[in-house]
Amino acid sequence: MASREIEWLKREVVAWERDGVVDAATVARLRTRYALAAANETPWGRIIFGSLGALLVGLGIIALLAANWGDLGRRARTVIAFVPLCACALLYVTGYRRGWRSRAFLEPLGLFWGLAIGTGIALIGQTYHLPQDAETFTLAWTLLLIPVCYATRALAPVAGYFAGLLTWVSMSQLAGGVGLWYWPLAAIIVPLIYGVRREPEAEVRSTWMLWAAALSCTAALGITLEKSLPGLWMIVYTGAFAALLLGGEVRGSEERGWWRNPLRTLGGGGLAVVLYLLIFRWPWNDVGWNHWRADIFRHRWASVFDFSLGIALPVAAAFLLVLAFRRVPRRNWHGVPLLPAWALWGAAPFVTAIAYALAACGGSDQWPALLMTFYLAGLGLATLGEGLAGRRPGTINLGVLVLLAVIIGRFFSSDASFTAKGVVFIVCGGVFLAANLVVSRRMRQKGGAA
C-alpha cells in the first residue's frame, strides 16, 4: 500500500473512532499494522538521491577518462580500466557480508556498476584505438549488464539493459544485419521481472521494469520484422497489442490506474493507434503476396520470423481471450449476454486478418479500410456503452474519443461532398449532445458522476 493510501486510512480511522464505527482496541491494532507498513515502505528519497550520486560519479569518471591522459602508459591505463569494476565488486561483497539489503544501497550500486562496465570497455577502446563500432560496443556493454540486473535486482540496470538492446538492434538492422537475437536476449530478463513482481513492497519498481520491457519490446517488434510480405505488420502488431491487452486483463484485472498495468495500457493504446491507421486507404495499397519484396538486403530465412509471429501472436491473443473471458462474471442486458469491451478489442487481429485477406485477394484498398472503420467505430460504441453501464466517466470519454477520431479521420479522407459531410457532422454532433444530456440526467438520478 502506498504512503498516500496509508495516510488516507489513518485519517479515516480517526473519523471511524469518532463516529463509533470501530472501538479503541481495533483502532490501536490498525495503527500498529499500518505503522509497520509505513516503516517497510521503499525509501524513495534515499534511492533517488543515491542513484543521482552514483550517476554523477559514474559520468564524472567517464569524462575524466575521456580526457585521455597521454602521459600514462598502456599498462597503467589498462589497470585503470578495471578500477571502477573492482570498486563495484568490493562494494557488493562488503554489502553482502554486512547484510546491506536496502534498496537505497542496491539501486545506486546497480547504476554505478552498469556505468563501470561501460567505462572499462570505453577505456580499453581508447587505449587500443578500437574502431568506431558502436554496434559491438553497445552489445558488449548490454550483455555484461545481465549479471548486474540479477545480482542487484535494481531498476536502472534493467532499464539500461532494454535501452541497450533496443539501441543495438536498431543499429544492427540499419547496417543490414538481422536483429532476431533481440528476442532470446530480452527473454533472459523476464524471470527477473517476474521474481521482482512477487516481492513484497516492490510494486513500483516492478511496474517501472515492466514498462521498460514492454516499451522496448514493442519498438523492437517493428525493427526486427524482415517486412518481406508487405502489410503483414498489421496482423503482427494488432496481434501483439491484443496479446498485451488481454495479458494485462488476465494478470492484473484488479489493478486500478493506467500506470499500474503497463501491459493493458500499452496494449490498449497501441491497438487504438494501429486500428486508427488502418481505417485509411493508404496502408492497404500494394499488400499481399503479389507485392513480395525482393530487395538485395532481404534475409530469406529471417522472413520465417515474420510468418511465425503472424500466426503465433493471433493464436496467443485467442488463448488469452478465452482465459480472460472465463475469469470475468457474466453480464446480461435485458436477457442478452454482454461481452466486455476489452474482449471486442482483443478480437482485433482476426478482423485485421480478414481485411488483409480482402486487400491481398481483391486488390482493392476501399473495402478493408471500410471494414476497419466499422470495426473501430463499433469498438468506440462498445467502450462508450460499457462506461455508461458501469458509470465510469474515464471509459465513457475513451469511447467518445475513439468515435470522434473515426468520424474526423473519415471526414478528412473521404471524397464525399461538403454538403454530405456537413449533414453527417451535424447529425453526429446532435446525437452526442442528446446522449450526453440523457447520461447526465441518469447519473444525477442514480447518484453517479455527472
Q: Is residue 296 within the footprint of other proteins (CB under 8 A)?
A: yes
Cβ-based nearer residue to other proteins, 134 or 389: 134
370 binds other proteins (CB under 8 A): no
Q: Which is nearer to other proteins, 123 or 318 (CB)?
A: 123
The smaller minimum CB distance to other proteins, of residues 5 and 133, is found at 133
Q: Which stretch binds other proteins (CB under 8 A): 150-158, 230-238, 373-381, 425-433?
A: 150-158
By CB under 8 A, residue 325 contacts other proteins: no
Residue 325 Cβ, how far from other proteins at the closest point, in Å? 32
CB 37 within 8 A of CB 6: yes
* Interface mask toward other proteins for 161-180; x: CB under 8 A: --------------xxx---
Asked if 187 interacts with other proteins (CB under 8 A), we say no
- Please, what is the minimum distance in Å from the beta carbon of residue 200 to other proteins? 13
| Binding status of residue 336 toward other proteins by CB under 8 A | no
Q: Which of 126, 183, 401, 428 binds other proteins (CB under 8 A)?
A: 126
* Cβ nearer to other proteins, comparing 140 with 223: 140
- Are the C-beta atoms of 141 and 183 separated by less than 8 Å? no
- Residues 413 and 41: their CA atoms lie apart, in Å, by 53
Question: Sign of the C-alpha dihedral, residues 353, 359, 365, 371?
Answer: negative
Contact region with other proteins (CB under 8 A), list: 119-127, 237-245, 274-282, 377-385: 119-127
| Nearest to 110, CA basis, from 238, 205, 199 | 205
200 binding other proteins? (CB under 8 A): no
Among 36, 66, 174, 423, binds other proteins (CB under 8 A): 66
- Number of amino acids touching other proteins (CB under 8 A): 47
Q: Is 146 in the site for other proteins (CB under 8 A)?
A: yes
C-beta of 68: minimal distance to other proteins in Å?
Answer: 5
Among 31, 55, 78, 204, binds other proteins (CB under 8 A): 78
| Site for other proteins contains 294 (CB under 8 A) | no
| Three-state SS sequence of the chain | CCHHHHHHHHHHHHHHHHHCCCCHHHHHHHHHHHHHHHHCCCCHHHHHHHHHHHHHHHHHHHHHHHCCCCCCCHHHHHHHHHHHHHHHHHHHHHHHHHCCCCHHHHHHHHHHHHHHHHHHHHHHHHHCCCCCCHHHHHHHHHHHCHHHHHHHCCHHHHHHHHHHHHHHHHHHHHCCCCCCCHHHHHHCCHHHHHHHHHCCCCHHHHHHHHHHHHHHHHHHHHHHCCCCCCCHHHHHHHHHHHHHHHHHHHHHCCCCCCCCCHHHHHHHHHHHHHHHHCCCCHHHCCCCHHHCCCCCCCCCCCHHHHHHHHHHHHHHHHHHHHHHHHHCCCEEECCEEECCHHHHHHCHHHHHHHHHHHHHHHCCCHHHHHHHHHHHHHHHHHHHHHHHHHCCHHHHHHHHHHHHHHHHHHHHHCCCCHHHHHHHHHHHHHHHHHHHHHHHHHHHHHCCCC
Q: Establish if 350 lies at the interface with other proteins (CB under 8 A).
A: no
Q: Which residue, 169 or 275, is less far from other proteins as judged by CB? A: 169
Residue 120 interacting with other proteins (CB under 8 A) = yes
- State which of residues 89, 322, 361, 389 lies at the interface with other proteins (CB under 8 A): 89
Rounded least distance, CB 362 to other proteins, Å: 32
Return the number of the residue (129 or 256) whose C-beta is nearest other proteins: 129
- Closest distance of CB 209 from other proteins, Å: 14
φ and ψ at residue 338, rounded to 5 degrees: -105, 140
For the bound state, the minimum distance from the C-beta of residue 450 to other proteins, rounded and expressed in Å, comes to 50
413 belongs to the binding site for other proteins (CB under 8 A): no
Establish if 155 lies at the interface with other proteins (CB under 8 A).
Answer: no
Query: One-letter amino acid identity for 289?
Result: W
Q: How far is the CB of 293 from other proteins (least distance, A)?
A: 15
Q: Which of 22, 30, 37, 62 binds other proteins (CB under 8 A)?
A: 62
> Closest approach of Cβ 121 to other proteins, in Å?
7
Find the binder of other proteins among 22, 31, 57, 150 (CB under 8 A).
Answer: 150
> Which window, 22-30, 125-133, 225-233, 429-437, contacts other proteins (CB under 8 A)?
125-133
236 interacts with other proteins by CB under 8 A: no
C-alpha 435/C-alpha 19 separation (Å) is 41
Q: Which long-range contacts (CB under 8 A, 24 or more apart) does 304-308 make?
A: 305/180, 305/224, 305/225, 305/226, 306/225, 306/226, 306/227, 306/228, 306/229, 306/232, 306/236, 307/229, 307/232
Contact residues: other proteins, CB under 8 A = 62, 65-70, 78, 81-82, 85, 89, 92, 96, 117-118, 120-133, 137, 140, 144, 146-148, 150-151, 153, 175-177, 191-192, 195, 296-297
